[in-house]
Amino acid sequence: MKVLFTGIQPTGLLHIGNYYGAIRNWVELQHKYKSYISIVDLHAITIAYDPEDMRKNVFDLALGLFACGINLERTILFIQSEVPGHAELTWTFNSITPLGELERMTQFKDKAGQHRKNVNVGLLDYPVLQAADILIYKGEIVPVGEDQVQHVEFTREVARRFNARYGDTFPECQAELTANPRIMGIDGSAKMSKSKGNFIGILESREEIWNKLAPAPTDPARVKRSDPGTPEKCNIYSYHQVVTPEPELTRYIAHGCRTAGIGCLDCKRKLLDNLMQVLDPIRERYHDLSGKKKEIRNILDRNAEACRKVSGQTILEVKEKMGLTPVWKV
Ligand code: TYM
């Protein structure tokens, strides 16, 4: 069975961009691959944060992922900082990574722009840690949204470079995208993300979501209810494309928009209904799991232990190949 590895930052909230762009895929693929999913707290500390929030966010994310359908039997969900090999492998990869490659990374440039007062080395080194995450388990399949594809390409490059210098050790992984790898924010102007505040959270109530959907922009050509529109130009339609079942989408939504058969508000109400059919059960499972904190903590402990074993073997292999074998072994 091939190894799947992916990660997610504990930034305090899961949104439908995460869900439809990535997590939905993880839930499906866990039946096909040996799956590791990491809550990447070491990545999250590269921007300013509150330690108390971090502790809470890490745990909430574990609950949220289980609520979304990550299966305890099928997937090893674990906390990155509880497995020291990730940081150790990062250091060895640092020594084969040209600085210029990291400076050219899109996400680094974006984040360095957003956090001008805190452009720390960790922010620059972020993709190297991500490469170590994947390669320490010899991951081959990396299901992510479009924004992470460059980091997966970089990981392939790290593997190639290591293999060329020290001998065949790591596989070349590939990114696996969902049908909708880039979910736009509620105003349609940028990718949905927590930091931009343009998100719909998966645990938000029907009312909270409606308060965001109701004023959201649609096709600008539809000024009056009777104006025909072009669904492909409407951000709400792009949400229908991920949320609404196909026959309903084409028969009712797309046709209704083109012929002015339905108004934008009705279209949004229909989206809300369809979305809540998916989110309501997730929220219920999340609340059920909230009462089982001890069991969840035990699972995370067990999983971290399993990851320490597997990653420890890779570290030994890497050290051996790099000539870092302890002297007492000679
Ligand atoms: P993160 O925490 O930003 O996002 C988690 C996953 O959600 C996807 N995603 C989206 N997909 C589509 N549309 C959107 N608007 C959207 N927003 C987020 C992301 O692409 C991602 O798949 N660097 C990674 C975490 C990471 C990782 C790894 C991933 C660390 N190590 C190793 C894969 C393998 C990150 O910040 O994801």
Cα 154 to ligand 1 centre (Å): 15
CATH 3.40.50.620 in the chain, residue ranges: 3-183+293-329
| DSSP letter for each residue of 139-153 | --EEE--GGGHHHHH
Asked if residues 186 and 200 have their Cβ atoms less than 8 Å apart, the reply is yes
Q: How far apart are CA 298 and CA 295, in angstroms?
A: 5
Instruction: Pick the atom of ligand 1 nearest to 145's CA.
Output: 20
Active site includes 270? Answer: no
The topology under which CATH files domain 206-287 is: Tyrosyl-Transfer RNA Synthetase (1.10.240)
Is residue 85 within 8 A of residue 312, CB to CB? The reply is yes
Ligand 1 atom closest to the CA of 8, numbered from 1: 2
- Rounded to two decimals, what is the model's pTM? 0.97
CATH homologous superfamily of domain 3-183+293-329?
Answer: HUPs (3.40.50.620)
Query: Which residue's alpha carbon is at the smallest distance from atom 22 of ligand 1?
Result: 144
Within the chain, all domains assigned CATH 1.10.240.10 are found at 206-287
Q: How far apart are CA 276 and CA 49, in angstroms?
A: 31
Query: Active site includes 111?
Result: yes
- Hey, is 197 helix, strand or coil? coil
Kind and range of the H or E run holding 38: strand 34-39
pLDDT of residue 329: 65
Task: Give the tokens for residue 195.
Answer: 């930091």
Residue by residue, pLDDT tens for the chain (330 residues) are 999 999 999 998 999 999 999 999 999 999 999 999 999 999 999 999 999 999 999 999 999 999 999 998 899 999 999 999 999 999 999 999 999 999 999 999 999 999 999 999 999 999 999 999 999 999 999 999 999 999 999 999 999 999 999 999 999 999 999 999 999 999 999 999 998 999 999 999 999 999 999 999 999 999 999 999 999 999 999 999 999 999 999 999 999 999 999 999 999 999 999 999 999 999 999 999 999 999 999 999 999 999 999 999 999 999 999 999 776 666
CA of 149 to the centre of ligand 1 (A): 9
Whose alpha carbon is nearest atom 37 of ligand 1?
A: 8
Give the 3-state secondary structure of residue 117. helix
What distances in angstroms separate CA 248 from CA 192, 253, 270, 278, one per listed residue?
25, 7, 10, 16
Residue 191 appears among annotated catalytic residues? yes
Catalytic residue among 111, 138, 268, 270: 111
130 Cβ inside 6 Å of ligand 1:
yes
pLDDT score for 325: 78
Atom 5 (ligand 1) nearest CA: 8
Q: Which residues are paired to 212 by β-bridges? A: none
The beta-carbon contacts of 190-197 under 8 Å, at least 24 apart in sequence, are 191/17, 191/147, 192/15, 192/16, 192/17, 193/15, 193/17, 194/11, 194/12, 194/13, 194/15, 195/11, 195/114
Tokens of 85: 């090999």
Q: Is 233 helix (H, G, I), strand (E, B) or coil?
A: helix
CA-based end-to-end distance of the chain: 35
Ligand 1 pocket test: which of 144, 152, 196 has the largest number of ligand atoms within 8 Å of its C-beta? Answer: 144
Placement of tokens 């497995």 in the chain: 83
| Kind of pairing between the strands at 141-143 and 174-176 | parallel
For residue range 71-108, list pLDDT tens digits in order.
Answer: 988 999 999 999 999 999 999 999 999 999 999 999 99
